[in-house]
């Protein structure tokens, strides 16, 4: 079956396809050779020895309990920071998105400018800014639960990701048919009621995959605390400390990476479940039969002997 020609580039000919195939083979060969060299070097350094893995997989090892106690504490702090940052990012991001959609073309220019500045700054700078500038403004979070470094991390992540979530929601609202706004205005709903009751629920459902992807990014970005906020011992920081003590960085970081992969996989499965449930609910509502209202009797439609007969 012939495929439709691309409008962006010409279809490669036989010679070009052969060159692409050969280049791919050479690239895979080079990458495989580099991987073999890395594995051999690590094996020579003893990173794959069984004694390096015993503190992680052997309950009889003397360091097993201490290692997993430190890792468990780090995982708990990672999940706490991620949960707080996700909650605040959703709340603040939704508020910013609604505010941007509610303002007029001229009045939203300062808000859009501030959003572009925050979105254009790397998230690591946002976290660093929170940890350095907030104390100068008197926000030290000294008595806050979890410690001040937790809240510096949460504020930095929230400042960056709330803007991204606001843009995701704005894109979701603007992708909806314009007729829904007109229908809402026709039945007397205000602009705020239209956003809250009609547009935002659909935008959340439409943009759910993008939202879940951003939540996964928030979870992974908590590891930046290991580089900036050394005093906050989250999962990556805890793994680094254990690896320095036991001198087994490869096993430790492989296990840490596996933990992140499992958590992100669970979040993705949760997103798929919520999306399927939402689609099923929407389909059931759309296919629900609408009962016809009884026709009221009038003087002309009242039963008469002739009609009864």
Distance (Å, whole) CA 306 – CA 169: 63
Q: Structurally, how many domains does the chain consist of?
A: 1
Angle between helices 148-174 and 208-221 (to 10 degrees): 160
pLDDT score recorded for residue 82: 92
In a domain, 19, yes or no: no
In a domain, 143, yes or no: yes
Assign 3-state DSSP to the chain and report helix, strand, coil percentages, each to 5. 75, 0, 25
pLDDT score recorded for residue 77: 92
In a domain, 129, yes or no: yes
pLDDT score recorded for residue 286: 60
Distance (Å, whole) CA 76 – CA 55: 20
In a domain, 180, yes or no: yes
Distance (Å, whole) CA 183 – CA 187: 7
Q: What sections of 175-248 are H helices per DSSP?
A: 179-186, 191-194, 200-206, 208-221, 225-228, 235-246
In a domain, 38, yes or no: no
First to last CA, the chain: 67
pLDDT score recorded for residue 309: 42
In a domain, 231, yes or no: yes
**Domain range holding 206?**
74-274
Q: What CATH number does the domain containing 214 carry? A: 1.10.3720.10
Query: pLDDT per position in the chain (309 positions), as tens?
Result: 445 444 445 677 788 888 888 899 999 999 999 989 988 887 887 777 778 888 888 888 889 999 999 999 999 999 999 999 999 999 999 999 888 888 878 888 898 898 888 888 888 889 888 888 888 888 888 788 888 889 999 999 999 999 999 998 888 888 888 888 888 888 888 877 888 888 888 888 778 778 888 888 898 899 888 777 777 888 999 999 999 888 888 889 999 999 999 998 888 888 778 777 766 766 666 666 555 444 454 445 444 444 444
In a domain, 202, yes or no: yes
CA distances from 243 to 50, 155, 222 (A): 15, 29, 19
pLDDT score recorded for residue 282: 63
In a domain, 8, yes or no: no
């Amino acid at each position: 079956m012939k495929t439709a020609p691309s409008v962006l580039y010409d279809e490669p000919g036989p010679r070009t396809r052969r060159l692409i195939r050969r280049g791919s083979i050479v690239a895979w060969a080079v990458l495989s050779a580099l991987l073999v060299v890395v594995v051999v070097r690590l094996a020579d350094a003893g990173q794959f020895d069984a004694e390096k893995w015993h503190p992680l997989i052997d309950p009889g090892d003397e360091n097993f309990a201490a290692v997993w106690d430190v890792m468990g504490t780090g995982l708990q702090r990672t999940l706490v920071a991620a949960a707080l940052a996700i909650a605040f990012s959703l709340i603040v991001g939704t508020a910013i998105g609604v505010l941007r959609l509610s303002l007029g073309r001229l009045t939203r220019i300062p808000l859009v400018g501030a959003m572009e500045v925050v979105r254009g700054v790397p998230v690591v700078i946002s976290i660093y800014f929170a940890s350095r500038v907030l104390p100068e403004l008197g926000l030290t979070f000294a008595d806050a639960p979890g410690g001040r470094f937790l809240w510096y991390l949460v504020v930095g992540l929230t400042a960056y990701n709330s803007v991204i979530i606001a843009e995701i929601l704005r894109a979701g609202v603007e992708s909806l048919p314009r007729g829904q706004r007109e229908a809402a205005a026709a039945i007397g709903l205000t602009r705020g009621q239209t956003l809250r009751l009609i547009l935002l629920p659909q935008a959340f459902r439409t943009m759910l995959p993008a939202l879940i992807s951003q939540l996964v990014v928030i979870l992974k970005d908590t590891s930046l605390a290991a580089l900036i906020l050394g005093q906050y011992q989250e999962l990556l920081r805890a793994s680094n400390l254990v690896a320095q003590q036991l001198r087994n960085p490869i096993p430790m970081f492989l296990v840490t990476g596996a933990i992140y992969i499992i958590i992100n996989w669970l979040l993705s499965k949760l997103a798929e479940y919520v999306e399927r449930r939402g689609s099923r609910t929407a389909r059931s509502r759309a296919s629900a039969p609408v009962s016809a209202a009884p026709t009221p009797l009038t003087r002309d439609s009242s039963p008469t002997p002739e009609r009864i007969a």
